[in-house]
Chains A and B, each alone.
Chain A
Amino acid sequence: MQLALFIVFGALALGGALNLLLQRHPIHSALSLVVVMMSLAVLYWSLGAEFLAAAQVIVYSGAIMVLFVFVIMLLNAGEEERTQGSRAAYTVGFPGAAAIFCLLSFVFLSERNAMKASDIGGDLSNAVDNIAQLSAMLFTQQLLPFEVTSILILVAILGAVVLARREQ
């Protein structure tokens, strides 16, 4: 069951990501990204990270991507034009992507024992309530990074307000 979920939604995430690159209209690309986000949320859930899954859906698919779509609609962006591709993409992009892929596979394969045989969705069968654990962790051991992140976001909000009110 859990393996089936993983295969279906992993494939959906990959398909969405490819579609994001291949679609020519910005709205279609943005919607493909929504599909990727939702599939990732299901994958998180099948690994037992319920809160992360819900946050992924609410924050990314529900708020950030809606804003993306909103802006694309407002700007009435047209279809993108196809070019032959820049030379930088061929000289740096493809080798870079290949290098990152190799590095990640090397790390995952060499650390396979440390991660154990990951029990995909094992937590789904006897789900524990991990929100209490998560919040205890955030407010004790990770308190400083948590508060610093909050202040960072507050500064960003203030900056946005100042920029928006500049003309008055």
Chain B
Amino acid sequence: MTHLTDFELFLLLSVLKVAVVLVVTLLGVAYTVLLERKLLARMQNRWGPSRVGPFGLLQPLVDGAKSFLKEDMNPLAVERPLFILAPIIALGCALISMSVVPFGAVTRVNGVDMFQIANVNIGLLVVLGVTSIGVYGITLSGWSSNNKYSLLGSLRSTAQVISYELALGLSLVGVVLRAQSLNLRVIVDSQAAHGILSWNIFGGFQFVAFFIYLMAAFAETNRAPFDLPEAENELVAGYHTEYSSMKFAMFFMAEYANMITVSCVATLLFLGGSTSVFGHLFDGFLNTPVANAIFPVCWFVAKVFAFLALYIWVRGTLPRFRYDQLMGFGWKFLLPLAMANIIVTSFILAVRG
């Protein structure tokens, strides 16, 4: 590798990182769908998909092939460029946020950090910004479909996402105050000292913020119990009623990719990111470079997996909100609570600091 310049090496490794993260995320999306179907089935005393491959493990691949091979229908009266652009925006924004997530401990190969695509100082704001752009996908899909159910679904979704974005952003302020940075790596490091005891949700006393984030995140990703944009008993299928084949699959993948992103952010901000549950208790154990690179990634994946399971559990448990209840809950309960949390946190930090 000596004949490559530093810049070429950097470029090569960056492209490699992007490719690996993209493939792993898309596979993660496919298998989150399977996980959801299996877990929901068990909660409802059914088997779930079990025919394709052992335990139905090949089901996502077959579903993907089905989506590709289906006829791609374009209704006549749609607004053509926007109708095609909308699913691309939705999926693109869902995937872009992954670029600032640190998946493991700092592991440098030739000066390039291998477990994070881009370490930016405003990582948290990048995630929030990309999420807020993602709403265009849903808005435009509903409007360009030229269908009243799609339009109603997208109007609901836009209003819901804008409202809950405020509570979501404010719930993160307490964490930022504690870490004194918006850099996701620094936020993770601020929770690394004593394992589970220094996680923001326990030792940081940010559990109120965590529950606000949890509820706002469910609403942001349009998941149950806040899945009003696609309430099938009122709106057929909501904003993606007119979409078929791969364009529908892109919305579907965007929903699950958003779930994964939200789980990653929750892990980073409240559950200590890629740090061990036990802190530095077992640092002497298996202290080799390879183990030190692999174990943090395993912790990270385990925490994200637990959060995804929580998502599915909630979907299997709670009924859907009514629309006015949803708005009232967001504006009259979550928002004031998030503000109170900021005031109390900053007061305590000011007294102790």
What residues of chain A have their CB less than 8 Å away from a CB belonging to chain B? 27, 31, 34, 38, 50-51, 53-55, 57-58, 61-63, 66-67, 69-70, 73-74, 127, 129, 131-132
Contacts and interface: CB of A to CB of B under 8 A. Distances in A.
Contact of B132 (A57, A70, A73, A74): A57
Nearest to A34: B136
Given A51-B122, A127-B121, A129-B121, A66 B139 contact: yes
B139 A57 contact: no
A73 B155 contact: yes
B203 interface: no
B125 A51 contact: yes
Contacts of B162: 63, 66-67
A126 B151 CA distance: 46
Nearest to A62: B132
B9 interface: no
A115 to B, nearest CB: 25
Contact of A66 (B82, B126, B135): B135
B128 interface: yes
Given A57-B132, A66-B158, A66-B162, A73 B125 contact: no
Nearest to A50: B122
A69 B181 contact: no
B143 A73 contact: yes
Given A31-B136, A61-B129, A66-B158, 4 more contacts: A53-B122, A54-B129, A62-B129, A69-B140
A69 B82 CA distance: 13
Contacts of B142: 73
A62 B133 contact: yes
A58 B132 contact: yes
Nearest to B119: A127
Contacts of B125: 51, 54-55, 58
B58 interface: no
B181 A58 contact: no
B182 interface: yes
8 contacts: A27-B143, A54-B122, A58-B128, A58-B169, A69-B140, A70-B158, A73-B142, A129-B183
Contact of A69 (B136, B159, B169, B182): B136
Interface string B154-166: 1100110010010
A70 B160 CA distance: 12
A70 B139 contact: yes
Contacts of A73: 139, 142-143, 151, 154-155
A127 B119 CA distance: 11
A131 B132 contact: no
Contacts of A27: 79, 82, 143
Contacts of A34: 136
Contact of B181 (A38, A63, A129): A129
A132 B182 CA distance: 10
What are the 8 A-B residue pairs with the smallest beta carbon separation, nearest first? Answer: A62-B132, A54-B125, A57-B129, A50-B122, A58-B129, A73-B143, A54-B122, A129-B121
A161 B143 CA distance: 28
Interface in B308-327: none
A73 B139 CA distance: 9
